[in-house]
Amino acid sequence: MLDLRLIVITDRRLAGDRSIEDIVRECLDAGAPAIQLRDKHAHAAELLEQAERLRELTAAFGATLFVNDRLDVALASGASGVHLGPNDLPPDAARRAIPEPFLIGVSTDDPTRASTLQKAGATYIGCGAIFGTTSKPEVGEERIGTDRLRQVVEAVDIPVVGIGGITPDNVAAVAATGAAGCAVISAIMTAPRPGPVVTQLLAAF
């Protein structure tokens, strides 16, 4: 069974002086089942180097590694899957090139679109921004709330992961929608001790 109770999404800017590898290691040690490498500013070769280091870490803990946006880097690094945004390669095109068990996550907050993406070969849906976010400027002031998340959950048979402004203080509301888990950037990347944050987030699911 694919464990998506928590996807830790990396962000070098929010990590500050700490290395992504050190933060990810602490998250994995606390039980994080999945990591998503997200670095919008890295070129392909740099992203591949990061992905290969994280692949070694996640493999050691039996965790899943996704690469954000870049299917080529995900495949070259031996990652478990890719997460595709609205402007990336469509999941059906990716699925034609890479059969199961390669994992394909796709972003949408629209129930009808989510159903279409499931039919197109998506493994899971990333839905948000639930409570708003400062980590993704492209979504602006969007706050879809937990009611919309619940609608997406009910529209598909694949896991749905909530994202956007999720913290230990509000994660219970996400879990109550029937979502399989949450994806978190800021609350973990900025935490002086990411491990306890991971533990609290996992407890909700």
Reference 185, options 198, 169, 200; nearest CA is 198
Q: What is the CATH number of the domain that holds 192?
A: 3.20.20.70
For the chain, the average pLDDT equals 95
Residue 186 lies in a domain: yes
Report d(CA 32, CA 54) in Å as an integer: 13
Helix (H) or strand (E) run with residue 103 in it: strand 103-107
Residue 1 lies in a domain: no
For the stretch 123-173, pLDDT in tens is: 999 999 999 877 666 655 789 999 999 999 999 999 999 999 999 999 999
Residue 109 lies in a domain: yes
Residue 22 lies in a domain: yes
Helix (H) or strand (E) run with residue 98 in it: none
For 152, the domain range is 6-203
Number of domains in the chain: 1
pTM of this structure = 0.96
Find the distance separating the first CA and the last CA of the chain, reported in whole Å: 15
For the stretch 97-111, pLDDT in tens is: 998 899 999 999 999
